[in-house]
Amino acid sequence: MTDEQLIADVRAWIAANPAPAAADAGHSDFLRSPPDIIDWREKVHAAGYAVPSWPVRFGGLGLTPRQSLLVEQEFKKAGLPGSGVDRTSIPANILMQFGTDEARAKLLDRFVTGASSFCLLYSEPGAGSDLASVRTRADRDGDHYVVNGQKVWTSSAMDAEYGLLLCRTDWDVPKHAGLSFLLCPMKQEGIEIRPIHQITGERHFNEVFIDDAKVPAENLLAQEGAGWKVMQAALGYERLIMGEGATDRHDGGDAGLALIALAKANGKIDDPVIRRDIAQLIAWRRLNDLNAARAKTAGDGQGAALMSLGKLAMSRVLHGDARVRRDILGARSLLDGPAFPDARELNYHALFSYINSIGGGTDQIQRNIIGERILGLPREVETDRAIPFRQSMAVAGSAG
């Protein structure tokens, strides 16, 4: 099928299938979609347009990444949700790649359509930047795993039906080799969730305490001990999403035009420094878009590193956006509250931008990945990489 034929088919399908009045273009992929949107997403999925790059047996069309993007763009032009899930849904993509047939049959379509919500159970109080050091344990007991441990900085845990859980199933091999990845049901006894108060005044993040929670063995992704491979794939999707601006402006508008409008409204549009800085931010955004397109077509090894480049670049864009807004508003940027909406928006986004610099791996981690995998610089020394994790814990304990 040519690009022209594909675009014509998508447009004809959209014209023949009226969408619900309330689209969820700004809806978080972590949360469950409203019922009417789920119905719409099911129709999109049945047509193959939700995950067009996936194999046909999983509901896709087997298209190339480039043609899949054409499908997604047509839905975006029409202001419709439902397409592009093969890029933006972490649990759907991970389950499709690594899940058992039983788990796929039960959950894959629900993740594609937004009928099931999720959270990411990765970081721990003692394992943030070094995720391979997680100590949440999962012990096999017949047809299920018994899980004990603690997670932190978990977005949307209060509403999630499932958690993508990185845990340890073997303590007597090196830390990366003893990890496994489970789809953990969240609505059960043994899981306690405590919200964390953020600097923005919101409570998206949570602490999660897990005490003898049970996970069906069929919810194991890949094999025991292959958790680090699954984790890297999941982080790749998360970094792609964040690199494309998931933590960007919430109003859905063009950020460059918003800065220009703000400068005009405050009499700063003729200031040569302000004009230069706005132009620089627009150029950075465009460059990041091109890099994201390159990452989508690169091989697995290089694509993941390019996603890190995009995520790091988006951090620079978001912090730069806040700085230019501050320069435009001047002393008024110190104000806040409903009476000063421009200043309030600036202050919110200045604080919120740190999510992009921390979530999905900090900016410093992205620089390490870029240095090692793109620039070919020497790896940092890891003295515990080749010894059993139990032994590394003992060494750390004695050093403390």
Spatial distance between the Cα atoms of 102 and 212, rounded to a whole number of angstroms: 23
Provide CB contacts within 8 A for 145, sequence distance 6+: 138, 139, 167, 169, 182, 214, 215, 217, 220
Cβ density class 1-31: b for 16+ within 10 Å, e for less: eeeeebbeebeebbeeeebeeebbeeeebbb
Pull the structure tokens for residue 178. 């003893």
Of 199, 169, 175, 207, which Cα lies nearest the Cα of 348?
A: 199
Q: Which residue has the tokens 């069906």?
A: 216
Residue 35 contacts residue 46 (beta carbons within 8 Å): no
Type and span of the H or E element at 165: strand 162-168
Is 238 known to be catalytic? yes
Pull the structure tokens for residue 328. 């435009």
Q: Which residue has the tokens 């014209």?
A: 15
Provide CB contacts within 8 A for 40, sequence distance 6+: 19, 20, 80, 81, 82
- What's phi and psi for 220, nearest 5 deg? -70, 130
The rounded Cα 386 to chain-centroid distance in angstroms is: 30
Q: At what angle do helices 341-352 and 300-329 cross, to 10 degrees?
A: 150
Pull the structure tokens for residue 302. 């290089």
Of 314, 304, 141, which Cα lies nearest the Cα of 228?
A: 304
- Gyration radius of the chain over CA positions: 22
The active-site residue, picked from 72, 124, 238, 345, is 238
What are the CA-CA distances from residue 24 to residues 21, 37, 108 (Å)? 10, 7, 20
What are the CA-CA distances from residue 357 to residues 19, 72, 278, 313, 315 (Å)? 36, 27, 21, 10, 6
Spatial distance between the Cα atoms of 256 and 254, rounded to a whole number of angstroms: 6
Of 324, 200, 314, which Cα lies nearest the Cα of 259?
A: 324
Q: At what angle do helices 227-243 and 300-329 cross, to 10 degrees?
A: 40
Give the active site residues: 238
